[in-house]
Amino acid sequence: MKRSKFVIIFPSSIDNMFLLYNTLTGSLLKVDEPTAKIFTLPWEDVNLNSIRPENLDILTQFSFLIPNEVDEDKIFEHFFFRINFEATSVTFTLIPTEKCNLKCTYCIMGQEKNNSTMSLEIAKDTAEWMINYLDTIHPREFFLHLYGGEPLLNLKAIELVSGRLKEFCRQKKIEFSISIATNGILFTSDVAKRLKELGLARASITLDGTRDFHNQTRPFPDGRGTYDIILKNILKTKDIIDIIINANYSIETVDSMVDLLDELSLYNLQKKLRMVKFSPIIQNIRDKKPIGCSSLSNANLADIHVRLREEAIKRGFIPQEGIGVNICGVTRAHDFTFDTNGDIYKCPAMAGIEKLKVGSIYEEDFSYLYIRFTTMNRWKKCRDCPYLPLCAGGCPYLALLNKGNIEEINCERKFLDGVGGRILEQDYA
List, for residues 73-88, the tens digit of each pLDDT value: 999 999 999 999 999 9
Question: What is the pLDDT at residue 293?
Answer: 46
Residues 52 and 175 in one domain: no
Residues 380 and 304 in one domain: yes
- In angstroms, how far is CA 258 from the centroid of its own chain? 22
Residues 78 and 126 in one domain: yes
Nearest Cα residue to 102 out of 201, 205, 179 = 205
Half-sphere exposure of 225 (CA within 13 A, CB side): 14
Question: What is the pLDDT at residue 384?
Answer: 93
- How far is 183 from 45, CA to CA, in rounded Å? 56
Q: Tell me: the pLDDT tens digits for 90-100?
A: 999 999 999 99
Q: Which of these three, 70, 100, 116, is where a domain ends? A: 70
Question: What is the pLDDT at residue 334?
Answer: 97
Side chain identity, residue 227: Y
- How far is 180 from 97, CA to CA, in rounded Å? 13
Number of domains in the chain: 2
What DSSP assignment string belongs to 227-294?
HHHHHHHHHHHTTTSEEEEEEEE-GGGHHHHHHHHHHHHHTTGGGT-SEEEEEEEEE-TTT--EEE-T
Burial 130-144 (b: 16+ CB within 10 A, else e): bbeebeeeebeebbb
Residues 12 and 161 in one domain: no
Residues 214 and 240 in one domain: yes
Above 80 in pLDDT, residue 376? yes
Above 50 in pLDDT, residue 290? no
Q: Which of these three, 18, 49, 70, is where a domain ends? A: 70
Residues 137 and 20 in one domain: no
Q: Residue 151 sits in a domain of what CATH number?
A: 3.20.20.70
- How far is 214 from 356, CA to CA, in rounded Å? 32
Residues 61 and 95 in one domain: no
Domain that holds residue 59: 2-70
Bridge partners, residue 66, by sequence: 2
Question: In whole angstroms, how far apart are CA 64 and each of 38, 73, 75, 422?
Answer: 10, 15, 14, 20
Residues 306 and 247 in one domain: yes
Residues 64 and 137 in one domain: no
Enumerate residues 6+ apart whose C-beta is below 8 A from 272: 238, 239, 243
Q: Tell me: the pLDDT tens digits for 9-57?
A: 999 888 889 999 999 999 999 999 999 999 999 999 999 988 889 999 9
Residues 235 and 272 in one domain: yes
Alpha helices in 173-225 (DSSP H): 189-198, 211-217
Residues 31 and 84 in one domain: no
Question: What is the pLDDT at residue 261?
Answer: 97
Question: In whole angstroms, how far apart are CA 223 and each of 212, 218, 405?
Answer: 12, 9, 37
Question: In whole angstroms, how far apart are CA 419 and each of 4, 251, 414?
Answer: 21, 16, 9
Residues 386 and 272 in one domain: yes
- How far is 156 from 184, CA to CA, in rounded Å? 17
Does this model's pTM top 0.75? My answer is: yes
Nearest Cα residue to 421 out of 392, 429, 311, 64 = 429
Cis peptide before 209 (omega within 30 of 0): no
**CB count in 10 Å sphere of residue 121:** 11
What's the pLDDT band for 294 if we cut at 50, 70, 90?
Answer: very low
- pLDDT above 70 covers a percentage of the chain that reads 93
CB 342 within 8 A of CB 319: no
Q: Which of these three, 22, 53, 70, is where a domain ends? A: 70
Least confident of 11-15, 172-176, 293-297: 293-297
What's the pLDDT band for 300 if we cut at 50, 70, 90?
Answer: low
CB 219 within 8 A of CB 102: yes
CB 37 within 8 A of CB 44: no
CB 382 within 8 A of CB 409: yes
| Helix, strand, or coil (residue 177) | strand
Averaged confidence pLDDT in the chain = 91
